[in-house]
Structures are given as C-alpha cells and as structure tokens.
Structure 1
Amino acid sequence: MNICIAGAGAIGCTLAARLSESGQNVKVLARGATLETLKSTGIRLTDIDGEHTVKVFASDSAEEIGPQDLIFICCKAPALPAMLKLIKPMLHEETIVIPVVNGIPWWYFQGVEGRFSGDTIQAIDPEGSVSKLLPHPHLIGCVVFITAFRNAPGVVTSTNPHLIVLGEINHEMSDRLEQVRKVIEDAGIEARATDNIRDQIWTKVAANLTSNPLSVVTKGTLEQLYSDQRLKLLVRKILDEVMLVAAAYGARIRFDPYTFMELGAGMGAVKTSMLQDYEANQTLELDAIGYAVLELAEKISIPMPTTKQLLDLTHFVASQPLSNTQS
C-alpha cells in the first residue's frame, strides 16, 4: 500500500518507522525542523524491540506526496481542520483515512443509526465544519494505546507495548478493515479489529480524562495519578462519571474501576501527552478529551460536576504564562 503518515510527532514517527521497516511504501507529511531532520537523518525510534533508524520520504507538500491508499492523521485535535484540508490532494476514491487523535471523534454520530444520528458535537465540530472536510466513507476509526515521548524532532522513545484497535464507524467487519489490521500487525504492532469501535473510544476517553487534565495541574506521572492516596479519590470520581455517560450511550468499558486504576498505575513514571504539550507551550486537547464529553453528558442530562471542575481548573492553568506557573 502507499501509506502517508500526516504529522510527525511521537505517535506519527513511531508508526512511520515501524511501517517503513516492515517494507511498506511510507511517506511522511511534516514541516519545519522535523521535516529537515527526517530529510537528513530519518527517524530514530527506541522502543521495547530495540533501536530503529529509518529513512523515509518526507515533504510538506501533499501534492508532492501524491495519491495515497492509506493515510494516518497523527495530529492533535485542535490541528484537525487544517490537517484535513492539507491531505485533500492525497485522496482518491478508495483512500482510507485513519485519524489517530485523542478524545471523542468528530464523526461519533455518523455511520450508525440512533437517537442522535447525524448530530455534530459543537466542542470539536462547530456547525459540522470538520465533517464537511472529509466524506465519512473514507474513515476507519482508531484507538491507539501507545505511550511515546518526542525527545527531539524525529527522535522518539516508547517504553510500553504498542496496541492499535481499528473499527469501521458503521461497526461492520469489512475486508479493508482486515487489510489495514494486517499491515499494522506485520509492522510489529499489535492490531485488533472490532465491530464496535465506540466501546474502545470510551475506554481511551476514560484513560485520557482521568489522567491528562490532572497531570497538567499536578505535574504527576501516570503512576502517581493512579496510585497516590492524595489523588486516587479524585481520579475515581472522574472515572465513575465517565463510565456512567459511556453506559448511557450504550458503550461498554472493558475494565472494572479497580482494574482500570491498577492498569493506569502500572504504566509507570510516564508523562501524559497533555502534560508534554503543556510543557512545550502547545494548545491542549481539552475540547476533544474533556469538553466534548461534557457536551455528550448534557445531551442525556447526566451531570459531571467533578470532571467539569477539573477541566475548568486545567483550562485556567493552561491560560497562564508558563514562566509564572513554574516560578
């Protein structure tokens, strides 16, 4: 397959390195210092399988990259509209697009029948502006359980096993879904296909919402957030609120709360992606990870008071000059 990784952050570089090393024809859409690094020295990935130094074709021009069979969109949620516009020259009629993005996806109410079918989520898709950029038949949903840290442009460390869960947004088990799953599996990444990607989305949302905002406020690692006695009660309250909303939408989170907390603590002394973004003075994914969930809760009249208070506190902290918050 002709594969493009659109976005060369920690996750994008991890996917590009592993897929390229497996023999796939991989091109990377990047810019700035990252683009220059990829052109000169390639990607340097250190993960549980060792060190990988991989040369890839990289460009900041979708026209130069050309039509692609499979595109992984590896960017933060706030950058999605711009990225979806950028990839248009790479689309052909059967191009598969997989957004590798945290939080509730903009397409959540597309592809399936239900009370809110066709609705848009204003926090992440105001007036359907994002939905208009990409016809939903191109989409395959994705939930990535990969912890990776960008040490420098094109230099990434990932210390935990890689897992990607894929699913059609209409919950069908299709031939193209299996084809993509096999491509990822052949790259040494555990890949699973599911007939209900929204269950997996809620599992990841629960993980993100119980850890990411709180990490910005406390500067704590995953191990600390889920095990420190001063934080566990707060984390558990947020988890309970998220699980209630997920259940109201018919989703099933795979783990009971106690196991969920143990798994979180077991991730070790790892900084969340949101804390990394905060320290890099980048825009935080609070809308996709947090406020979109509050919007879904409000649609079905379920209060999330603890979650809202934490999100508002995180929003305040993120709005302050970083030098002041660290002094």
Structure 2
Amino acid sequence: RVRGEIGEFQVPITATDDPATVGEVDVLVLTLKAHSVPAMAASLRPMIGASTSVLTAQNGFPWWYFYAHGGEWEGMRLESVDPGGVISENIDASRVIGCVVYPSTAIVEPGIVWHLEGTRFAIGEPDGSKSERCRRLAGSFIKAGLRCPIRTNIRHDIWVKLMGNVAYNPISALTRATLIEIVKCAETRALATAVMSEAESVAKKLGVEIGVTIEQRLEGAEKVGHHKTSMLQDIEAGKPTELEAIVGAVIELGEKLGLELPNTKSVYACVKLLEASRHH
C-alpha cells in the first residue's frame, strides 16, 4: 500500500524469498539496498534469461559503472561496491540498464510506503545508446503514471544524485537531522558543502561535469524539507546502511585518482563506527 503525494493505492503482489521459483523474467528490477546485492547475486541467476534486462535501482555508485565506459578506467571494479567481484561474476554487465531513483519515500510499517514526493526514474544504457529495451521499459513506467526519461549519459545523473547523497546521508545518520535541518544549520551546511565539493572533484577527474552547483543542491535539499535520508532511516530501524556504495565508493575512487577527500573520510569514519557500535 502506498500513501502520500500521489494519493493512496494498493497493489497486490506475489512475493517469494526464492528467486528460482519465479524463473526467467523480461526485466529484473533490482531494488535491493546496495549492500544486499553481493549476497543475493548468485541466487538471482535463475531469473536471468537470454534476453533479460537488469534495471539497477540502487543508491550510490553502481558496480557496473566502468562497463562500456571507455578510456583508461574501462572495466575497473570497486571493492566497496562489488566485493570480490561477486556481482559482476553473476550478473553480466551487458544486461544492465542504469537507473537513478528520485522519489522520496519511507517504509512506515511492513507493506506500507509513505511517498513524500517525486515520480521520476531516469534510465539509461551504460554505452549511452537509446536502445529498444530502454524505450519499452520507459513506456511501462510512463503507462504506470511515472516519469521515466531515457538518458544518453546516465553516469551524469548518477553523479548529480550521488553528490548530494554522499554529504546528506552520513551527516543525517550522525545527527539524526532531516535535509532542511542540515542546510539550515550553518556548521552542517558548511560540512555538506565541503563533502559535495570533494565528490565533485572525483567526478571531474572521471570526466563528468556535474553541472549543478553546490548552492543549487543545498536549495534543493531545503525544498524537500523534513525528509529523513535513507541512511538515517536505516540507522533508526537498526538496519545496515548503504555507507560503502554512497560514501566508501567515492573514497575508493579518490584513492585511485590521488585525491585526499578529508571531509568525506571523516564522516565515513564516524558512520562506520556508529554502525559497528550498534552491533555490540
């Protein structure tokens, strides 16, 4: 059941904890949290047939990012998002359609999702082509009342979202603050600015011009208002966070690119300890 900005509706679904019982599908929409994908990757194989597309709808830096990337980074794997290469071993990157999820939602109780705002899911091929499978998929999303632009540079969209997430997620997890509270407090606003600036430097080294200023990102966060980031929601629910995919990956990239990222490393270290302390 979904409640919120777009009204209230209920969708009957067939659920299973055994992907093998589903069999091969046309499109596998991967909405697991990023840290859950490695453990599940092998069990998803029975769902992937000869023409199955895999829509990756995770937060953070995607494991397939350097597939069909070109240049010196082609095929590079990040340990933070694909530990031991277990995802890429089980899901052929040629299956992947990238996706950036923009709606703000929260699970208020099992089976009940509160939808705060947003209906946009940007999708795109790693190689930038406007493929037939992207068109079909976008058509299905649009038919369901969602917005689904097809991007010729999905990596740009990934960085635009990641630039905000890498700052707001850990700061909110540490302070329990909502987006508007983070940007209204001068000190956390300055910290968020510093972290976003570091993320921007990583993107630039990879040849991505984000094209959205940090000030615009701060204004955007203020407009969203009293929204708790996914990382804060996970902390409050006692669940593992997407720290590695959102923050760890940026740090790993920074190390490979020879960038320091002191502010990003600081918030990462604090959330890492926060997570560890909950399990003692």
State TM-score, norm by structure 1: 0.82
**Counterpart residue number, 1:308:** 265
**Counterpart residue number, 2:236:** 279
Matches within 5 A, 1:70-219: 70-219=27-176
What is the alpha-carbon distance in structure 2 between the residues aligned to residue 308 and residue 63 of structure 1? 40
- Opposite residue 51 of structure 1, the aligned amino acid is E
Alpha-carbon offset, residue 252 of structure 1: 2.4
Gaps of 5+ in 2: none
2:20 is aligned with 1:63: yes
Alpha-carbon offset, residue 316 of structure 1: 1.2
Q: Quote the sequence identity (%).
A: 31
State TM-score, norm by structure 2: 0.96
Cα offsets for 1:294-320 (capped at 9, x unmatched) = 111111111101110111011112222
What is the alpha-carbon distance in structure 2 between the residues aligned to residue 60 and residue 309 of structure 1? 37
Matches within 5 A, 1:19-58: 44-58=1-15
Q: How many residues align?
A: 280
Alpha-carbon offset, residue 126 of structure 1: 3.0
Alpha-carbon offset, residue 63 of structure 1: 2.8
- Opposite residue 204 of structure 1, the aligned amino acid is K
Secondary structure (helix, strand or coil) at the match of 1:318 reads helix
The answer (yes or no) to whether the contact 2:38–2:82 under 8 Å persists in 1 is no
Runs of 4+ in 1 over 6 A off after TM superposition: none
Gaps of 5+ in 1: 1-43
Cα offsets for 1:29-84 (capped at 9, x unmatched) = xxxxxxxxxxxxxxx10132200012122222223222210111111111102222
Secondary structure (helix, strand or coil) at the match of 1:92 reads strand
For the aligned residues, what is the CA RMSD?
1.4
